[in-house]
């Protein structure tokens, strides 16, 4: 399975799992809000993640933690565009813009981003599907029930996995109808977005089912609340080991891309999980 993104860059998922590094340019994200809020710090962090093994940098200017209020597009643009421009000057790493607003996506793509990571699966902005297709960008279609502000208020599903699959199929159809090529689409079941503790575990346990959509699968488990609960209430800053366990399980259960904050550690965990999954003998450094 291949993913083709802009600038003639292709990810070959038959060979390995890819690592997406999280870069939150926000003052209030649940796990690292404020750490990389200044453009200079954000760029330095991005380049360090590339050095540590990130294959993609995912840049977000609006917190999507549970209960988060929406952010004006102008403010979001002011946070992410300077960072995207400077990273692109210094690195050829594929850049993903984490937004559900078409205006932000278009500006980011024009400044050098390659992928749009839309937590709404193209549903929040009626122009987004056409915007992505018009720029020839790749797109991550995530499942979310509701919005970040209210997504944890109603997490009832009659049939969890089938309902998520149906929603993702509809998002794929929307992308395709707008003109996005099949090889530019990624799916994400949306762990932590409108799901309960048990539902998050069910998704990870059955991640292989999402391969049936015929698209690369992205798993975003890094520092999520379900890990903190398993670890007895550990805060986001103390969820590294739990995250690495969830990352390894995600790889074994079918993830093609893992989205993480701690790139250096996760890249090593992915390498080991890949070797086990693919039964390869690798040189030990």
Distance of CA 94 to the CA centre of its chain: 13
For this structure, is 229 an active site residue? no
Coil/strand/helix, residue 217: strand
| Strand 56-60 versus strand 95-98 pairing type | parallel
Cite the beta strand spans of the chain per DSSP E.
Answer: 2-5, 9-12, 18-24, 56-60, 95-98, 115-118, 138-142, 185-188, 218-219, 257-260
Candidate list 45, 259, 277, 280, residue with the active-site label: 259
For this structure, is 280 an active site residue? no
CA distance 152 to 201: 16
Residue 115 gets which letter from DSSP?
Answer: E
Candidate list 184, 223, 224, 239, residue with the active-site label: 224
User: Among all residues, which ones are annotated catalytic?
Assistant: 224, 259
């Amino acid at each position: 399975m291949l993913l083709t993104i802009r600038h003639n860059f292709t990810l070959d998922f038959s060979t390995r799992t890819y690592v997406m590094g999280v870069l939150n340019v926000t003052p209030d994200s649940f796990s690292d809000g404020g750490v990389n809020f200044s453009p200079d710090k954000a760029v330095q962090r991005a380049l360090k993640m590339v050095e540590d093994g990130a294959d993609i940098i995912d840049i977000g200017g609006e917190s999507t933690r549970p209960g988060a209020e929406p952010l004006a597009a102008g403010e979001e643009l002011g946070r992410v565009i300077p960072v995207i421009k400077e990273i692109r000057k210094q690195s050829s790493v594929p850049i993903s813009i984490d937004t559900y607003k078409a205006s932000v996506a278009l500006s980011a793509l024009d400044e050098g981003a390659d992928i749009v990571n839309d937590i709404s699966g193209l549903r929040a902005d009626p122009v987004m599907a056409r915007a992505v297709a018009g720029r020839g960008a790749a797109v991550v279609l995530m499942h979310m029930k509701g919005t970040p502000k209210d997504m944890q208020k109603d997490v009832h599903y009659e049939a969890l996995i089938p309902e998520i699959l149906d929603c993702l199929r509809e998002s794929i159809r929307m992308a395709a109808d707008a003109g996005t090529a099949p090889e530019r689409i990624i799916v994400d079941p949306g762990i932590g977005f409108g799901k309960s503790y048990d539902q998050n575990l069910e998704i990870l346990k059955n991640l292989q089912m999402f391969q049936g959509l015929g698209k690369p699968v992205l798993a975003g488990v890094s520092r999520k609340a379900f890990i903190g609960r398993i670890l007895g209430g550990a805060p986001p800053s103390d969820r590294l080991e739990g995250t690495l366990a969830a990352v390894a399980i995600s790889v074994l259960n079918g993830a093609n891309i893992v989205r993480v904050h701690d790139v250096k550690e996760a890249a090593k965990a992915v390498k080991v999980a890949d070797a086990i999954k693919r039964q390869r003998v690798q040189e030990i450094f």
